[in-house]
Amino acid sequence: MKDRTGFIVERAGKLYVRVSYTDSLGKRRELMRRATDRQHARQLKKDLVKQLDSADAEQRLAAEKITFREVAEQYKERNLIPAQYVNDRKVAGRRSLESPLRWIRLLADHFGNARLRFITHSQIDAYRLQRLKAGLSIASTNRELELLRSVLNYAKREGLIDKTPFELGAPLIHKADETRRTRVMTPDEETRLLAVCVGRRSHLRAIIICLADNGMRFGELKTLRWSDVSLSARTITLRAYHTKTAQSRTLPMSERLFFELTKLYSESSDKEAGLVFGGIDSVKKAWKTACKAAEVEGLRVHDLRATFITRMVDAGLPAEEVSKISGHAQVQTLYAHYLRITNQTIERAANLLNQLHDDAREVAERLHASHTAIAPETTAQAVPILNTDAHQTK
């Protein structure tokens, strides 16, 4: 603790000792105690300064005073910053900040003036219910609560609290209750969408084909450069710098994607370091109008990634290999979040069941035929023989 200053002040005929200090978060704070006389005041000032020499005391005193807003601001300054890289590896910050910055503003507005150490499990649960009643989905509410948990864990690491409310009582984040997306693009919808990608929406055609044919994330697509594309080998290499998992991977290039990329390459002015899709940042408007024109409802751009994964698994490619292409660190994540049940999957399952039943019926018929083929007289002769053996044994 630094910059401690003690004063003896008199107010309304009463003596007080005031010691100001700067805490570990850089905030200027103050302790004030009443003294009985001047001698007591001088001794009290020494005792308070000595008490503040202890790091434990600093943490305890800071925790008593600090508000959630102050900790949230510190967390934002240290963690909610643009991603920083060393040798193409992210070492700090976040790639996407729009949503986290919005969430932390909402949390600061709600919990801002509350003393950090007095925020309770029930208060957080009340906030959760408030957000759900306001129409927020369970998944979106969970994202806000996950950020709140991160802020409180940060405070715990800094020694401002011993435990967070998330460690006490019933779970506050209910991942199992989130509604999972089940949407994939059908072949018919794909045909209709590509048919309307003309004129002002012509740029959308190559994007749709790219996302549907190799399962990359849109964030990976918009940072893709020509130096990452090999038209001769018909592969695309995503650098670790741009992937969510910070691991590079190689993607396949279908025949139609090869055709689209070849066309874009011929039109590119920078065939080395240039962006494949021209530095596009968003396709929300074009996507919305394309879906409306194609009469496609409820389909999102990110659903194309699930479409690719589902198609690959349906085609027989092992899920472990699909996860390597799609960039999932764990195959369980692929199963839980991206693998969809399609009409083709249901039909294939029904066909497999029918085949199992047919096989079982065929086995039963063969067994029945083998039993009826035994002659009655053979069976009759077998009985005395067995009885004779039994009699001789006796």
Residue 93 and residue 155 in one domain: yes
Mean pLDDT value across residues 177-190: 84
Residue 74 and residue 167 in one domain: yes
Of the candidates 82, 73, 77, which has an alpha carbon nearest to the alpha carbon of residue 116?
73
Instruction: List the structure tokens of 195.
Output: 């048919």
3-class SS string, 269-330: CCCCCCECCCCCCCCHHHHHHHHHHHCCCCCCCCHHHHHHHHHHHHCCCCHHHHHHHHCCCC
Using the predicted structure, report yes or no on whether residue 193 has a pLDDT greater than 90.
Answer: yes
Q: What is the dihedral of CA 348, 353, 357, 362, to 10 degrees?
A: 40
Residue 29 confidence (pLDDT): 73
Residue 86 and residue 123 in one domain: yes
pTM, rounded to two decimals: 0.60
Residue 182 lies in a domain: no
Using the predicted structure, report yes or no on whether residue 197 has a pLDDT greater than 80.
Answer: yes
End position of a domain, from candidates 65, 87, 107 = 65
How far is 340 from 294, CA to CA, in rounded Å? 22
Q: Which domain holds residue 255?
A: 187-341
CA-CA distances (angstroms) from residue 268 to 207, 208, 219, 234, 335? 16, 19, 20, 18, 38
Q: How many domains does the chain have?
A: 4
Residue 194 and residue 154 in one domain: no
> Is-contact 34 16, C-beta < 8 A?
yes
Residue 230 and residue 172 in one domain: no
Residue 357 lies in a domain: yes
* Mean pLDDT, rounded, of the chain: 82
How far is 64 from 57, CA to CA, in rounded Å? 11
Residue 105 and residue 200 in one domain: no
Residue 258 and residue 388 in one domain: no
Mean pLDDT value across residues 190-216: 93
End position of a domain, from candidates 139, 156, 177 = 177
Residue 146 confidence (pLDDT): 96
Residue 193 and residue 335 in one domain: yes
Summarised one tens digit per residue, pLDDT across range 66-86 is 899 999 999 999 999 988 877
Residue 1 confidence (pLDDT): 43
End position of a domain, from candidates 150, 177, 204 = 177
More confident of the two residues 362 and 375: 362
With a CB cutoff of 8 Å and minimum separation 6, the contacts of 364 are none
Residue 172: CATH number of its domain: 1.10.150.130
Residue 87 CA, distance from chain mean position:
24
Residue 309 lies in a domain: yes
Instruction: List the structure tokens of 376.
Output: 């009655």
Summarised one tens digit per residue, pLDDT across range 149-159 is 999 999 999 88
Residue 162 and residue 95 in one domain: yes
Mean pLDDT value across residues 11-31: 77
Mean pLDDT value across residues 327-336: 59
Which strands, in side-by-side order, build the sheet including 28-35?
Answer: 2-11, 14-22, 28-35
Residue 296: CATH number of its domain: 1.10.443.10
How far is 277 from 253, CA to CA, in rounded Å? 16
3-class SS string, the chain: CEEEEEEEEEECCEEEEEEEEECCCCCEEEEEEEECCHHHHHHHHHHHHHHCCCHHHHHHHHHHHCEHHHHHHHHHHHHCCECEEECCEEEECECCCHHHHHHHHHHHHHHCCCEHHHCCHHHHHHHHHHHHHCCCCHHHHHHHHHHHHHHHHHHHHCCCCCCCHHHCCCCCCCHHHCCCCCCCCCHHHHHHHHHCCCHHHCHHHHHHHHHHHHCCCHHHHHCCEHHHEECCCCEEEECHHHCCCCCCEEEECCHHHHHHHHHHHHHCCCCCCCECCCCCCCCHHHHHHHHHHHCCCCCCCCHHHHHHHHHHHHCCCCHHHHHHHHCCCCHHHHHHHHCCCCHHHHHHHHHHHHHHHHHHHHHHHHHHHHHHCCCHHHHHHHHHHHHHHHHHHC
With a CB cutoff of 8 Å and minimum separation 6, the contacts of 103 are 143, 144, 147
Residue 333 and residue 363 in one domain: no
Of the candidates 148, 128, 146, which has an alpha carbon nearest to the alpha carbon of residue 137?
128
Summarised one tens digit per residue, pLDDT across range 86-117 is 776 777 888 788 899 999 999 999 998 898 88
Residue 53 and residue 172 in one domain: no
Residue 90 and residue 161 in one domain: yes
